[in-house]
Chains A and B, each alone.
Chain A
């Protein structure tokens, strides 16, 4: 079809809605959003807080299920999947990077990166090997056996990136990944994403930061649960 030239859509949202009940009121966090993110894109989902961008990220990452509409990951509809199937999908297709790093404090950097592979039932030796090479890729070869509390903020976020990469996901989802970092470290992390995207990885960055968003090749703006721009042009 018309977007075949930019490759298959890694993510496609088709009239997706997410409504919450808060007390007696219905909150329409995401209200009829359609968009597609193609293989190899570097996309920013931007919007002020409360705009529904985090809910959108959760839906794309299969952490949440929509109230209406359909989400496709790598062409596969996620509607009707149960928790086991969604977990399987997250493990294979999506790599998460969070604002607060979300590393497991008792584990070393290497063990943290090994964790997603554990849920595939991969043998320990192979897990270790893959995790080590992922950490090497983000420049933390000599920090592998350190625990999170022995690492700087930038290093923690690199461990998180390595953990997201290690499974070879179709999509890297980053939620305000520089939000907890000082600006120069933030820029380094941003460069890391740019490098990964140059290597062909599809990256979706959720941010309220204009300057960060503008560094991405494509911007999708969200306000009050609707797309303000950037969503339709690839559909």
Chain B
């Protein structure tokens, strides 16, 4: 019976192709809007998350406050203290940074100079393009070696072949550093603009380049099996007790990623809810067309009743028709929304993240609308008096 109803519904929808299309337009636009918004929301969210995650979701950076609130607590040794006090820290790397003029022959520029341990590149998933990152021995011996970010290398060595060359770093007076490596390009994170930085051993930095009062930042790598957000909270709690909440800032990409995800999620849900209103409007269009369809086929309903169709059967027939109509609208809308999402993500440059939730919501919603708005016309058809229906002109 259901199969027969579907056949009947399809043939009756095909009999009025233009009308079917027009009555579905509102519905299709609504579904397409919901799917597009949810898919774009997901895509935006995962793109943002990916860019945040490039800084390493398992890292937390602690910035001592500079200026008046600076305390003397934040020494190189403090990294070890931190690691001893808080569980779940794989490594704590003290990092110093400042800016300086860097020159090679006639090329020069002002770049960020980072004094980092030899494990810095590995901790940050930061790859070497040519040569190598300096070693722990270089650090221990305060060697005057330097690794260049991709843009720095391109600026100072337009012809390439930087490794083995000597550059000058200006801090009061010029000092010579030997280039041992050039890094791959890497998108700037929240704690470093990798490509426009140069990297020298931590000990070289504090002994030979500039002796800072406190460490600029501590790069903390969370150990496997620990929750970054939890450990980040632990660090904050500990630092609160040592220097007070004004004395430091803790930054963790995971916190930011979660925040970004929450914001885009809330935002796209909000937009989808607005788009769902257009689905509702589309549903009213469906009801309208179903009422027309029932009125038009009054005589047919009378004949079917005379032949023994019960009210339930008639109701089923028209409900199936409304359901088929909205299912069709839902599927076309999903297709439209997907195409639109593909186009937009391509133009904006996000990676496409299909929202299957969006598909399910849109399809479920459109079927619910079919049943909800089809119910009244179907009831009306089922309650027609057979004689009146048969005599209807």
Does B390 count as interface, using CB distance less than 8 angstroms?
Answer: yes
Contact B305 A87, beta carbon cutoff 8 Å: yes
Scoring B residues 290 to 305 as 1 if CB is less than 8 Å from chain A, else 0, what string do you get? 0000000001101111
Known: A102-B390, A106-B15. A119 touches B309 (CB 8 A): yes
Contact A118 B299, beta carbon cutoff 8 Å: no
Give complex CA distance A115, B310 in Å.
13
Contact B304 A115, beta carbon cutoff 8 Å: yes
Known: A102-B390, A104-B300, A121-B1. A96 touches B306 (CB 8 A): yes
Does B4 count as interface, using CB distance less than 8 angstroms?
Answer: yes
Does B56 count as interface, using CB distance less than 8 angstroms?
Answer: no
Q: Which of A1-9, A58-66, A133-141 contacts the other chain?
A: A58-66
Chain B positions 55-109 with a Cβ under 8 Å from a chain A Cβ: none
Give complex CA distance A116, B103 in Å.
95
Contact B390 A98, beta carbon cutoff 8 Å: yes
Give complex CA distance A121, B309 in Å.
11
B275 to chain A, nearest CB (A): 36
Contact B310 A116, beta carbon cutoff 8 Å: no
B387 to chain A, nearest CB (A): 5
Known: A58-B387, A63-B387. A87 touches B308 (CB 8 A): yes
Contact B1 A87, beta carbon cutoff 8 Å: no
Does A163 count as interface, using CB distance less than 8 angstroms?
Answer: yes
A-B interface contact total, Cβ < 8 Å? 60
Give complex CA distance A167, B11 in Å.
25
Complex interface: chain B residues within 8 A of A167 (CB)? 308
| Cross-chain contact of B311 among A63, A83, A91, A106 (Cβ < 8 A) | A83
Does A90 count as interface, using CB distance less than 8 angstroms?
Answer: yes
Give complex CA distance A115, B313 in Å.
12
B residues contacting the other copy or chain, number (CB 8 A): 22
Give complex CA distance A96, B305 in Å.
11
| Cross-chain contact of A90 among B4, B306, B387 (Cβ < 8 A) | B306
Scoring A residues 87 to 107 as 1 if CB is less than 8 Å from chain B, else 0, what string do you get? 110111000101000111010
Does B12 count as interface, using CB distance less than 8 angstroms?
Answer: yes
Which A residue sits closest to B310, measured CB to CB? A87
Contact A119 B308, beta carbon cutoff 8 Å: yes
Does B307 count as interface, using CB distance less than 8 angstroms?
Answer: yes
Does B386 count as interface, using CB distance less than 8 angstroms?
Answer: yes
Give complex CA distance A7, B156 in Å.
117
Give complex CA distance A98, B300 in Å.
13
Contact B12 A106, beta carbon cutoff 8 Å: yes
A184 to chain B, nearest CB (A): 27
Which B residue sits closest to A55, measured CB to CB? B387
Give complex CA distance A91, B300 in Å.
16
Complex interface: chain A residues within 8 A of B304 (CB)? 104, 115
Known: A106-B15, A118-B1. A90 touches B308 (CB 8 A): yes
Does A84 count as interface, using CB distance less than 8 angstroms?
Answer: yes
Q: How large is the interface on A (under 10, 10 to 19, 20 to 34, 35 or more residues)?
A: 20 to 34
Complex interface: chain B residues within 8 A of A92 (CB)? 308
Which B residue sits closest to A119, measured CB to CB? B308
Complex interface: chain A residues within 8 A of B309 (CB)? 87, 91, 119
Contact A102 B311, beta carbon cutoff 8 Å: no
A114 to chain B, nearest CB (A): 10
Complex interface: chain A residues within 8 A of B302 (CB)? 102
Complex interface: chain A residues within 8 A of B308 (CB)? 87-88, 90-92, 116, 119-120, 167
Give complex CA distance A79, B15 in Å.
40
Give complex CA distance A90, B308 in Å.
5
Most A CB within 10 A of own CB, among B1, B303, B313: B303
Complex interface: chain B residues within 8 A of A119 (CB)? 307-310, 313
Contact B386 A63, beta carbon cutoff 8 Å: yes
Q: Which residues of B contact A (CB under 8 A)?
A: 1, 4, 11-12, 15, 299-300, 302-313, 386-387, 390
Q: Can you give 26 A-B contacts (C-beta < 8 A)?
A: A63-B305, A63-B386, A63-B387, A83-B310, A84-B310, A84-B311, A87-B308, A87-B310, A87-B313, A88-B310, A91-B307, A91-B308, A91-B309, A96-B307, A102-B302, A102-B306, A102-B390, A104-B300, A106-B12, A115-B304, A115-B307, A116-B308, A118-B4, A119-B309, A119-B313, A163-B307
**Nearest 7 pairs between A and B by C-beta?**
A91-B308, A87-B310, A116-B307, A119-B308, A102-B303, A84-B310, A63-B386
